[in-house]
Amino acid sequence: MDSDHESDDRPPHRPPVPSRDPYVYTLQSSRHATSPKVCRDFVACVLNSVGQEELVDTATLCTSELATNAFLHAEGDSLMLRVVIEPPRFRVLVYDASVELPTAARLPEGDRLHGRGLGLVAALADAWGTAEGDAVGTYAKGVWFELAGKEEKAEEQPRPFTG
């Protein structure tokens, strides 16, 4: 049944107030060979969406390394990716079911194909480390990295007409 009148109990239309809370985006993924690509693409999409395009290359490389480690070395059948943005900081966490913590990263000598991932993360990220698992207990630990993005610009004030 259609009505010709608008309800008077609706709040007045106001523009949304920007939140001071961090932006958090979460992706649940199977622990599969495609997981690193899916996680990379997710992180790139989030960064492009929030105007932090300059971080995409570094962030996707570091994300790929963490997701690859979870795929190759973790236990369980899934992993969780969490992206937390608290401007100007950007953090990516990859949670898995393994209780084994990663070892400190150092780039290996020579042409070895394995063992470079955390060394790359340590070299490229502003910070990295481990976190306790999720509150539900599905994941035993998280491995994270953090990058500093550009500061959000304050809204420019209109310039007076000096014509």
Instruction: With respect to residue 158, please indicate whether it lies within any of the assigned structural domains.
Output: no
Instruction: With respect to residue 74, please indicate whether it lies within any of the assigned structural domains.
Output: yes
CATH code at position 132: 3.30.565.10
What is the SS3 assignment for 152? Answer: coil
Instruction: With respect to residue 116, please indicate whether it lies within any of the assigned structural domains.
Output: yes
Instruction: With respect to residue 93, please indicate whether it lies within any of the assigned structural domains.
Output: yes
Instruction: With respect to residue 11, please indicate whether it lies within any of the assigned structural domains.
Output: no
Instruction: With respect to residue 76, please indicate whether it lies within any of the assigned structural domains.
Output: yes
Number of other residues whose CB lies within 10 A of the CB of residue 130 = 11
Q: What's the structural domain count of the chain? A: 1
Dump pLDDT digits (tens) for 52-84.
999 999 999 999 999 999 999 888 899 999 999
Q: What is the pLDDT of residue 154?
A: 41
Instruction: With respect to residue 162, please indicate whether it lies within any of the assigned structural domains.
Output: no
Dump pLDDT digits (tens) for 113-158.
555 678 889 999 999 999 998 888 889 999 999 999 876 544 434 4
Instruction: With respect to residue 65, please indicate whether it lies within any of the assigned structural domains.
Output: yes
Res. 159: pLDDT tops 70: no
